[in-house]
A and B are shown apart, each in its own frame.
Chain A
Amino acid sequence: MLDLTTTYLGLKLKNPIVPSSSPLMQKVDNIKHLEDAGAAAVVLHSLFEEQIIKESNILDHYLNYGTEGFWEALSFFPEQKSYNIGADAYLDHIRKVKAAVKIPVLASLNGVSIGGWIKYAQKIEQAGADALELNMYYLAADPAQTGAQVEQMYLDLVRAVKASVKIPIAVKLSLHFSAFANIAQQLAQAGANGLVVFNRFYQPDFDLENLEVVHDLELSTPDLLRVRLRWAAMLHGKINADLAVTGGVHTAEDVLKCMMAGARVAMMTSALLEHGTEHVRAVLGDLAAWMQKHEYESITQMQGSMSQKSVAYPAAFERANYIKVLQSYRPAI
């Protein structure tokens, strides 16, 4: 009997596949389908404090726009009894999802101020989320801001949120740190129960005809997995926090690699957007088949088996690897 179970943030999961934050999560039905397909837990789409503020201001702006100036039209819209803006809709969604599924539900939060992070973290906890993922979506674009300041900001935030809620918290990070291993360790020490590697920023593109910067949703590709595997493998066993890999996980092989690198869970988004919620079932089937074929008994058995501390050549994850690749490279003539 195969044992696919794992633990993440203290939660016992039936397998390591966790669909993560995406527009799919906005519908309770989708989450139910994911559960039916075998997902072990879900990370809801993020509650963006900035978006709440923006939505609120936009609504206010357009309800005021052009009003109370002209005799015959003092306003243009009927006042609604209430608006589903702000955190309420999100918190309500948590409640609905919790009522609809049995698997653990992780909420995701992106704040703009310490006060905002704390306030919404508490509300999310009260709404019944099993854990909270802090979606640290921050671009350090200010030339006056130092790396140390950015790191301090992250640490302060994690400490503050940790102190204000009882549910476990995970921190979703980008790779944009000079010393990633160090910040990972510090975050763990600050109270993060888990680290999710890595956040993907939407990258702008240029429209050459219209000379405009354009944004579109770019799905992840399996090649994104490599950098994540590297860092999961390097951090495994060195920091006191669970690791989760997100970005580039598309197939059962990808899940296996994540586990072997040392992750507790493999998070999946783009593959589900591409293939639908049933993809979880297919991946689980492939996972089980692979494990049976290769005579693995459990997921825990393989977790960290290919991490830096467990492989024969630990340096394979470090700089030597890069040199070797360079050496083997032959330019086209």
Chain B
Amino acid sequence: MARTKVTLDANEAAAYVAHHLSEVIAIYPITPSSTMGEWADQWSAEGKQNIWGTVPLVVEMQSEGGAAGAVHGALQTGSLSTTFTASQGLLLMIPNMFKIAGELTPTVFHVSARALAVQALSIFGDHSDVMAVRQTGFAMLASNSVQEVMDTALIAHAATLQSRVPFLHFFDGFRTSAEVMKVEQLTDDDMRAMIDQDLVRAHRARALSPDNPVLRGTAQNPDVYFQGRETVNPFYLKTPEIVQKTMDKFAQVVGRQYHLFDYVGAPDAERVIVVMCSGAEIAQETVEYLLPKGEKVGVLKVRLYRPFSVEHFVKALPATVKSLAVLDRTKEPGSIGEPLYQDVITALAESVAAGSLPAMPRVIGGRYGLASKEFTPAMVKAVFDELKKAQPKNHFTVGINDDVTNTSLDFDPTFSTEGKEIVRAMFYGLGADGTVGANKNSIKIIGEDTDNFAQGYFVYDSKKSGQMTTSHLRFGPKQIRSSYLITSANFVACHQFSFTERYDLLSAADPGAVFLLNAPFGPDEVWDHLPRTMQKQIIDKKLKFYVIDAVKVAKETGMGGRINTIMQTCFFAISGVLPRTEAIDAIKHAIEKTYSKRGEAVVQKNFAAVDASLSNLYEVKYPNKVTSAFDLRPAVPAEAPAFVQDVLAPIVAGKGDTLPVSKMPIDGTFPLATTQWERRNIAIDIPVWDEKICIQCGKCVLVCPHATIRSKVYDEKYLANAPATFKSTAARWKEFSTQKYTLQVAPEDCTGCSLCVETCPVKDKSDTKHKAINMMPQLPLREPEAKNWEFFLTLPEMDRSKVNVGLVKDSQLLEPLFEFSGACGGCGETPYVKLVSQLFGDRALVANATGCSSIYGGNLPTTPWAKNKDGRGPTWSNSLFEDNAEFGLGFRLTIDKRLEYARELLPQVANLVGAELVDALRQADQSNEAGILQQRGRVQLLKEKLQGNKSLIAQELLSIADVFVKKSVWIMGGDGWAYDIGYGGLDHVLASGRNVNVLVLDTEVYSNTGGQMSKSTPRGAVARFAAGGKPLPKKDLAMIAMTYGNIYVARVAMGANDAQTIRAFIEAEAYDGPSLIVAYSHCIAHGIDLAKGMEQQKLAVQTGYWPLFRYNPNLAKEGKNPLTLDSKAPALPLEKYTYNETRYTQLMQSNEEAAERLLKLAQEDVNKRWKMYENWANAPGNGSK
């Protein structure tokens, strides 16, 4: 069978081989490996078969630990089994990896290698994870490029069967896993040729079976464990040879030859770099550039890292080598060098000692590319240059400026190896505008329709709204090894005009490059709307400048906000990569291929967009001098604090790479309240208040996901210096009847989601479409409203002791201490998070599970967690995904122990501070805001009295005195954590009886990683890993928790009943024991217009899908039924709710029969569950009889 050329990324390449060669696949999502599992799941759902003609069974587990366990079990019973993972996920597999290897069980784990969470979590690529499992006994095989990933995956699957040693196949996370390349696809015949069927049967024959029973997994004592451990030696000794033979066989079958160590460079090289994965390709590109210049350099690519074959390694090195630099993409603090470096040193030293190597070359080791830090030919060159020195720096770093311990090598950022024959194009797009998809299409078009090689890499955002994407595309006649971002481009396109004033977009443009800009201005007007820096670059670099109003074309052709097809057409029209008509035909062909299954209308509108593009594309004739009156906007305003200016601003501006080590906090600690300085200006429309009809209900403030609508009640005297357009009206509170009220929008922070407008209950009596808040274009309002916002912030905050926080409208006068997060516009989670910050923020400790909330809460550059004018606010931390409940319990344990200690110390200072204060502190009623305020006063008094006293007890008590003010511990995270990976810990923490508050932001999928199924996913919903609709019902976490009897449990949906939500939060916090709130959180992964999220929540409750209730154990103590149902019996059929969401309609549209069957079952679930709750709630007394 002929091999076809395909354009794909490495995750797809690895999954392609793994799916073909497995029977059982256990998966769990984790970035950047998730898509491997997704592909496997999708292919099995589509009925794609492995090489034995059967469809692999794919099962999603509750954690990577679970996946490894399932794989272990499947292997032990004779299946060919695999899994995919990265980072912490791989660490969770370690115990099973030891077992699998110890039992000599063939398998391959495919890993897109990623950094580990240390001082911070990072989703990006390095070898910290794979290096952390090098002791498990797995063989480790590295791939350097997308083609190699496909090839090596097959080699690994073949070699493991023969060696019986399990394999870890790894490649660089993101840089390789997500790099799109044109590759040659292996065929089923290739795979069949490589897999020895006898070895498959031998594996099965060793399996556990009652027909041939054995015992495996004994416990061994000191007498024999050691000997047993040594039995595996022959297998490890043979493995390198087996791998090499497998590589040789692969070369016979497929034609590409690999070796355990591949050397590239001068045969008489004196300086050699030893490196693994994508860095090796960059090193090769650099070597090939330096060789013609007479440099005696080379690179040794390590493919089989474990078992490390000293013999093969030494043989692969040129005999002439004088110095070696070993590059590790990991860090092992406290070691005498990183792992590869140490292995190389040992290999060389042993060889010298054994006489197989005449002399020890000089070896230096260095770190590069941690967490996908760019690694470029310039850095490779710096390493080679270092090797020339008489005393080269050892244990160096390259790619950063380490101005603390001075480990870093200098490099020349202008050094480039990029050839003229390569087309290098950069595209700046806005998330969801289709830019990335169109570019992937372009790569396919060029890669598959021409002989050119093509490469694409895409840089995304850590924000979930208003994101910038940068596409880096290379096309050329030779194989492309440039696994680094483009820094000199001959084509630059900006698809979002607002970026021109925020980012330096043309710094990478080569002289004479083409610049394509999507602008709302024509060729004659656009020039004056560009910042000075951009104008200067256009003139200085003599760019060919084109403009198109793609938004207008998109609107006219029914494309909405999708400008992808238009900009793609323009790219082909002016880049000259393909002849114009040929390119347009190819684009249309690609459109048909991509969109035809979504319906002809979608194809036709894309065709219309292609046809309309060229007539709207203009070349701009620009003057030869800079004329603009403005320049790039500063990343943060001048009044921002020093840390924000020095450290965060460069990150905001996309220049974080320039920050030296000395600027970074040493232990990952960052200040709060920094999102306020970003002022992202991403909203096209913002809400505008009509004070004349507003009833001041506070609902808009409550639901605002980004805390950009706020209300204050204040004395009229403060209005003296109000800006002219600042709005104010009489407060509609009895107790504040003489006061003024203002509802103010932060125009530069609003995302324009319009959830507030949708929630506003007021309609103008003469014009019902007009509400008390209405969306209006942001641009004309930006300046006046920014002034109003500044003024609004100067108004005093509400005295917390004067409002009834249990009422919606009162609660929304409280200052939010969670603001302007990077969550999706219209997010369903953040209103709850913000509510916690309003009600309890000034005394809250937050433990946040990894997921959406930890990303919008804690991803650099800025954090939405804020503090009040007294400097108090929620203190926040993220430990891991799986341990969040335990992590939060640790907070509680500290508080409980500290309070106990403080109470023990207090009587001992009675003489000093007075018995009255001691009693007052000990007996304080802190059940309301007034009580808390009074206690703060007492603590202050205590501190003042202790201040001057030098006694040990006084000093001890002074250091912990704050603990006398009630603290509020919040453990929050999504359903992936609470229902799946963290459930065991959550259950234990809830059962501990300790006073913690657990908030589950239930989106019913793993939202952060792209909507994978969790045990919270409802029956009938399509999700990743449930492409055919989830067949089983959602786990009822609340019901499980209620069975303990001593846990406060509430199920809430803010959009359905905001008063109940607030009541539940207050009761949960007040309850002196564990509390669990399960909060319905509408989500982009549901496939709804997020502006309608609250309306959808209402339907979820009305249909009985999401019954609202509170279970308060305190009521049982009073002899009452602890369960209170807060919503009515199902009043609408379930489909009125479900079929508003793509997660349900997608199944209806793809498999009507399944959708109907599952809907029917889901309706039965709803009815049954309601009856169960109703019976419980109506049981007499405390429900115990």
Q: Mark B209-235, 1 if CB is under 8 A from A, else 0.
A: 000000000000000000000000000
Residue on A with the closest CB to B1156?
A: A27
Which B residues are in CB contact (< 8 Å) with A61? 560
Bound-complex Cα distance A73 to B1009 (A): 5
Residue on A with the closest CB to B825?
A: A66
Tell me if A78 and B1024 are in contact (CB < 8 A).
yes
Partner of B1084, one of A55, A59, A66, A78: A66
- In whole Å, how far is A19's beta carbon from the nearest beta carbon of chain B? 22
Tell me if A80 and B1150 are in contact (CB < 8 A).
yes
Tell me if A76 and B768 are in contact (CB < 8 A).
no
- In whole Å, how far is A65's beta carbon from the nearest beta carbon of chain B? 7
The answer to whether A329 has its CB under 8 Å from any CB of chain B is no
Q: Mark B17-59, 1 if CB is under 8 A from A, else 0.
A: 0000000000000011010001001100110000000000000
- Which residues 937-992 of B sit at the A interface, judged by CB distance below 8 A? none
Tell me if B1027 and A73 are in contact (CB < 8 A).
no
- In whole Å, how far is B122's beta carbon from the nearest beta carbon of chain A? 11
Residue on A with the closest CB to B855?
A: A72
Which B residues are in CB contact (< 8 Å) with A79? 42
The answer to whether A70 has its CB under 8 Å from any CB of chain B is yes
Stretch among A30-38, A81-89, A126-134, A167-175 lining the B interface: A81-89
Bound-complex Cα distance A79 to B1024 (A): 9
Which B residues are in CB contact (< 8 Å) with A83? 597-599, 1146, 1149-1150
Which B residues are in CB contact (< 8 Å) with A72? 31-32, 34, 123, 855, 1008-1010
Which B residues are in CB contact (< 8 Å) with A68? 431-432, 434-437, 458, 460, 469
Bound-complex Cα distance A77 to B1149 (A): 13
Partner of B38, one of A62, A70, A78, A80: A78
- Contact of A65 with B435 at beta-carbon distance under 8 Å, contacts A78-B41, A82-B597, A83-B597 already known: no
Which B residues are in CB contact (< 8 Å) with A211? 763, 768
Tell me if A62 and B1142 are in contact (CB < 8 A).
yes
Tell me if A69 and B768 are in contact (CB < 8 A).
no
The answer to whether A67 has its CB under 8 Å from any CB of chain B is yes
- Which residues 74-131 of A sit at the B interface, judged by CB distance below 8 A? 74-86, 89
The answer to whether B467 has its CB under 8 Å from any CB of chain A is yes
Tell me if A69 and B42 are in contact (CB < 8 A).
no
The answer to whether B350 has its CB under 8 Å from any CB of chain A is no
The answer to whether A71 has its CB under 8 Å from any CB of chain B is yes
The answer to whether B451 has its CB under 8 Å from any CB of chain A is no
The answer to whether A292 has its CB under 8 Å from any CB of chain B is no
Tell me if A77 and B1022 are in contact (CB < 8 A).
yes
Residue on B with the closest CB to A68?
A: B436
Which A residues are in CB contact (< 8 Å) with B597? 80-83
The answer to whether A52 has its CB under 8 Å from any CB of chain B is yes
Tell me if A52 and B464 are in contact (CB < 8 A).
no
Tell me if A70 and B599 are in contact (CB < 8 A).
no
- Contact of A66 with B824 at beta-carbon distance under 8 Å, contacts A60-B602, A72-B1008, A73-B1009 already known: yes
Which B residues are in CB contact (< 8 Å) with A65? 432, 1084, 1087
Bound-complex Cα distance A53 to B601 (A): 5
Tell me if B461 and A70 are in contact (CB < 8 A).
yes
Tell me if A73 and B1011 are in contact (CB < 8 A).
yes
The answer to whether A182 has its CB under 8 Å from any CB of chain B is no
The answer to whether A57 has its CB under 8 Å from any CB of chain B is yes
- In whole Å, how far is A187's beta carbon from the nearest beta carbon of chain B? 29
Which A residues are in CB contact (< 8 Å) with B600? 56, 86
Partner of A70, one of B174, B460, B602, B768: B460
Tell me if A73 and B1007 are in contact (CB < 8 A).
yes
Bound-complex Cα distance A65 to B430 (A): 12
- In whole Å, how far is B1088's beta carbon from the nearest beta carbon of chain A? 8
Partner of B599, one of A55, A64, A73: A55
The answer to whether B630 has its CB under 8 Å from any CB of chain A is no
- Which residues 589-628 of B sit at the A interface, judged by CB distance below 8 A? 595, 597-602, 605
| Size category of the binding interface on chain B | 35 or more
Bound-complex Cα distance A89 to B1155 (A): 15
Q: Mark B543-564, 1 if CB is under 8 A from A, else 0.
A: 0000000000000001010100
Which B residues are in CB contact (< 8 Å) with A69? 430-432, 460-461, 464, 467, 469
B123, B605, B1142: most-surrounded residue (chain A CB, <10 A) = B1142
Residue on B with the closest CB to A72?
A: B31
Bound-complex Cα distance A85 to B1147 (A): 11
Tell me if B595 and A60 are in contact (CB < 8 A).
yes
Which A residues are in CB contact (< 8 Å) with B306? none
The answer to whether B903 has its CB under 8 Å from any CB of chain A is no
Q: Mark B330-369, 1 if CB is under 8 A from A, else 0.
A: 0000000000000000000000000000000000000000
Which B residues are in CB contact (< 8 Å) with A212? 768
- Which residues 6-54 of A sit at the B interface, judged by CB distance below 8 A? 52-53
Which B residues are in CB contact (< 8 Å) with A77? 1011, 1022-1024, 1085, 1087, 1142-1143, 1146
- Which residues 993-1019 of B sit at the A interface, judged by CB distance below 8 A? 1005, 1007-1011
Q: Mark B442-465, 1 if CB is under 8 A from A, else 0.
A: 000000000000000010111110
Which B residues are in CB contact (< 8 Å) with A89? 1152
- Which residues 517-563 of B sit at the A interface, judged by CB distance below 8 A? 558, 560, 562
The answer to whether A181 has its CB under 8 Å from any CB of chain B is no
Which A residues are in CB contact (< 8 Å) with B602? 56-57, 59-60
Bound-complex Cα distance A67 to B1142 (A): 14
Tell me if A78 and B601 are in contact (CB < 8 A).
no
Which A residues are in CB contact (< 8 Å) with B1024? 76-78
A76, A84, A212: most-surrounded residue (chain B CB, <10 A) = A76
- In whole Å, how far is B1095's beta carbon from the nearest beta carbon of chain A? 11
Bound-complex Cα distance A89 to B599 (A): 12
Tell me if A71 and B1011 are in contact (CB < 8 A).
no
- In whole Å, how far is B1150's beta carbon from the nearest beta carbon of chain A? 4
The answer to whether A311 has its CB under 8 Å from any CB of chain B is no
Which A residues are in CB contact (< 8 Å) with B1152? 84, 89
- In whole Å, how far is A211's beta carbon from the nearest beta carbon of chain B? 4
The answer to whether A63 has its CB under 8 Å from any CB of chain B is yes
- In whole Å, how far is B284's beta carbon from the nearest beta carbon of chain A? 27
Tell me if A70 and B431 are in contact (CB < 8 A).
yes
Partner of A76, one of B42, B434, B1084: B1084
- In whole Å, how far is B12's beta carbon from the nearest beta carbon of chain A? 12
- In whole Å, how far is A115's beta carbon from the nearest beta carbon of chain B? 11
- Contact of A85 with B431 at beta-carbon distance under 8 Å, contacts A61-B560, A70-B463, A78-B41 already known: no
Q: Which 4 A-B pairs have the closest CB atoms?
A: A69-B431, A56-B599, A73-B1010, A69-B467
What are 21 of the A-B contact pairs (CB < 8 Å)?
A56-B600, A56-B602, A61-B560, A62-B1142, A63-B1087, A64-B434, A66-B432, A67-B437, A70-B460, A73-B1010, A76-B1085, A77-B1085, A77-B1143, A78-B1023, A78-B1027, A81-B1150, A82-B597, A84-B1148, A84-B1149, A85-B598, A86-B599
Extra A-B contacts (19), CB below 8 Å, given A69-B464, A70-B463: A56-B600, A56-B601, A57-B602, A59-B1146, A62-B1142, A69-B467, A70-B461, A71-B460, A72-B31, A73-B1010, A76-B1011, A76-B1024, A78-B42, A81-B1150, A82-B597, A83-B599, A84-B1148, A84-B1149, A86-B600
